[in-house]
Amino acid sequence: MDDDILILADPNGNAWDFAKEVYNKLNFSSTKCGKCSLGKINIGKFNDGEIFVKILTTVRNKVCFFIHDSSMNPQDWAISLVEVNDALMRSSAKKINNILPYIKYSRQDRMTEPRTSITASVLAEMIGSIADRVVATDLHNPASTGAYKIPFDNLKAYPVIVDYLRRRYPDFLNNLVVVAPDVGSAERAKSYAKRLMGGVAIINKSRDSSGAIREMTVIGDVQGKNILIVDDMVDTAGTLCKAAEILKEKGALRIWTCATHGLFSKDAIEKLSRSCFEKVIITDSIPQKNFEKIEVVSLADLFSEVIYRISHGQSVSELFR
């Protein structure tokens, strides 16, 4: 079976190094000892900006795992993904597995007002029409997996981040309170707190008629505590930085944050550099490097293990029990 496994990525894209790392862990691990191959896909553009795709490696009768570049802009990311799936199907791939560390368009998962599109559902139809399986990390709304009519593995990044914190910063974990930035993140905060032996607090937000945040209230004791705010993504970081200020006013000591996806739009990095956060820990679900307060934790071990389990008929859910 190992000889039929093919890891694919665009060598000119930002996900190529990640794909090579996954390939090396699969091929040279003492526990896996696989014989998978590393293949190339060319994702380019015509002069007018239209995307074209070509598979540069023979994929006939191969179990293909395409690792997509989540640092691409959303439009190019979505169209190139559909084109790659189509090209793999037309090239007689045995199985098409989409490895999507960060799924774009997943935030629009319901109709928040009349006459709007549910793009998470649209994307599910586009992918599910050709691909056989999707592997992603920390969907914005886990219920979005219900829109897919193919197997969908929504991996959790918290075991990787928890292990990183335990190994690198055991002193910070003493006297720790894990903070959910909103009520919807409470379960995530509990998962972290359970594994880091810390308390839990929640920031409750009240909004005005326009949807802007009017007030933040801290539910729980944070005075004299080390704080870890946990979330699924960091986008503009405006609300996150404001939450850190309020926690500081409430007597918190050291304030860190961690998230799976670092979108970092609209001067987010500049805001974080000026904030009272000591560290911002994210994964490489979106390819990036360490910068000032930002530390990047790799998901390559997690994805290599999941790819191995899928291709060998083993359970993925056991990893998170």
Tens of pLDDT, residues 7-44? 999 999 999 999 999 999 998 876 666 679 999 999 99
- 235 closest CA partner among 200, 206, 264, 197: 264
The DSSP result for 28-44, as a single string, is: H-TTT----EEEEEEEE
Is 205 catalytic? The answer is yes
Sequence-distant (6+) residues with CB within 8 A of 168 are none
Tens of pLDDT, residues 90-112? 999 999 999 999 999 998 888 88
Walk me through the domains of the chain, giving residue ranges and CATH numbers. Answer: 2-156+300-320 (3.40.50.2020), 158-297 (3.40.50.2020)
- For 28, phi and psi rounded to 5 degrees? -115, 10
Query: d(Cα 144, Cα 232) in Å, to the nearest integer?
Result: 15
Burial class (CB in 10 A: 0-12, 13-18, 19+), 79: middle
- 152 closest CA partner among 92, 99, 225: 99
Q: Which pLDDT does position 31 carry in this prediction?
A: 66
pTM greater than 0.75 (yes/no):
yes
Sequence-distant (6+) residues with CB within 8 A of 158 are 188, 191, 192, 195, 230
Annotated catalytic residue, options 32, 205, 242, 248: 205
